[in-house]
Amino acid sequence: TFLSVRYLTYADLTGKTVANTVNVGQQVRDSIQTYVEPSIANVNPDALSAATTQPNITYHENPVMKCPVAYVVWYGNWTGNSGVVLIENFLKGIGSTSWWGMATEYTNGSNIIFGQATYDNYSQGKSLNQSMVFAIVTKAISSQALPFNENGIYFVLTSSDVNETEFCTSACGWHSYDWPTKLIYSWIGNSELQCPQRCSAQQTSPNGNFGADAMASVIAHEAMEATTDPFLNAWFDLNGEENADKCAWTFGNLMTSSNGAYYNMIVGGVQFLIQQNWNLSIQNCSLF
């Protein structure tokens, strides 16, 4: 089994440029991203857009996902957590938004849909690495809790008491694949207790669930990249940046919810703060 991985790095508190080299199988890409302050309360929304000097993203003639289906493993303790409904409804609705419409420019395919979800009560413990995340996914499939689907993106969403090797130090989430099964999977952590200032753009929550609200943007990031660059060899720029990487921690025009939290998107009638994505048509960051 061959495993490879691509990361969303955390928001550096100093706002400096962070260079992170990641091994992606036969390739080594330098992931370079300038991060904004995690708390955007005093930031001009107009400043939260990507620099136009970024290199264009190009297609490298390798497979993309045309009909992606999202599957979720709720790993750890999610009992009574409103984030389960919040995130599942987000995944059910994001595919019909103009934000996801940008993905179809890359794939010439259909919108992402939600498949189903299952729970895993710490089968790999509370300290995970990439191989253990993959084991969580294969357990869900082999036990028939989730189906095997070549069009599937399998998200392992960990509760706030679960750590992962890169979590809070170099990554908020990542997507990867297995070879030769071609299984596409992703991990996203709940930063509420471990690093709330590193994996969330704000310290308030539009839906009263800090961890899930922060995870939503990372899930969108990884879903977009897993769809347009599933095997890490399709769409990226000369720096190795995938489309969502190029716009990480930028949010465009912001609105304010009744509790003072920022949001920029409504999905299924619910407010979310979701990062921008690289719009192929204009070669710049955009929400649509």
DSSP string covering 122-177, please?
STT-SEE-HHHHHHHHHHHHHTTSS---TTEEEEEEE-TT-EETTBTTTBSEEEEE
- Four-residue CA torsion sign, 94, 13, 31, 185: negative
Is the pLDDT at 96 greater than 80? The verdict is yes
User: What average pLDDT does this structure show over 51-56?
Assistant: 73
- At 14-50, the pLDDT tens digits run 232 222 323 222 222 222 222 233 323 223 344 344 4
Is the pLDDT at 242 greater than 70? The verdict is yes
pLDDT band at 54 (very low <50, low <70, confident <90, very high): confident
CA distance 126 to 174: 18
- Four-residue CA torsion sign, 202, 208, 210, 216: negative
User: What average pLDDT does this structure show over 183-201?
Assistant: 96
**Whole-number CA gyration radius for the chain:** 17
- Given a contact cutoff of 8 angstroms between Cβ atoms, the answer to whether 168 and 198 are in contact is yes
Is the pLDDT at 110 greater than 80? The verdict is yes
- Given a contact cutoff of 8 angstroms between Cβ atoms, the answer to whether 36 and 209 are in contact is no
Higher pLDDT, 7 or 113: 113
First to last CA, the chain: 37
- At 166-184, the pLDDT tens digits run 999 999 999 999 999 999 9
User: What average pLDDT is seen over the chain?
Assistant: 86
pLDDT band at 98 (very low <50, low <70, confident <90, very high): very high
CA distance 231 to 246: 18
Query: Which is nearest to 274 in space by CA: 226, 228, 229, 207?
Result: 207
Higher pLDDT, 241 or 36: 241
Is the pLDDT at 246 greater than 60? The verdict is yes
Q: Which residues pair with 126 in a beta bridge?
A: none
Is the pLDDT at 163 greater than 60? The verdict is yes
CA distance 48 to 36: 8
Query: Which is nearest to 29 in space by CA: 63, 50, 60?
Result: 60
User: What average pLDDT does this structure show over 250-276?
Assistant: 97
Query: If 0-12 CB within 10 Å is exposed, 13-18 middle and 19+ buried, where does residue 79 land?
Result: exposed
Per-residue burial over 106-131, b = 16 or more CB atoms within 10 Å of its CB, e = otherwise: bbebeebebbebbebeeebeeebebe
Name the domain count of the chain.
1
- pLDDT for position 150: 95
CA distance 286 to 246: 11
Domain residues for the domain of 249 are: 2-286
pTM over 0.75: yes
- pLDDT for position 32: 26
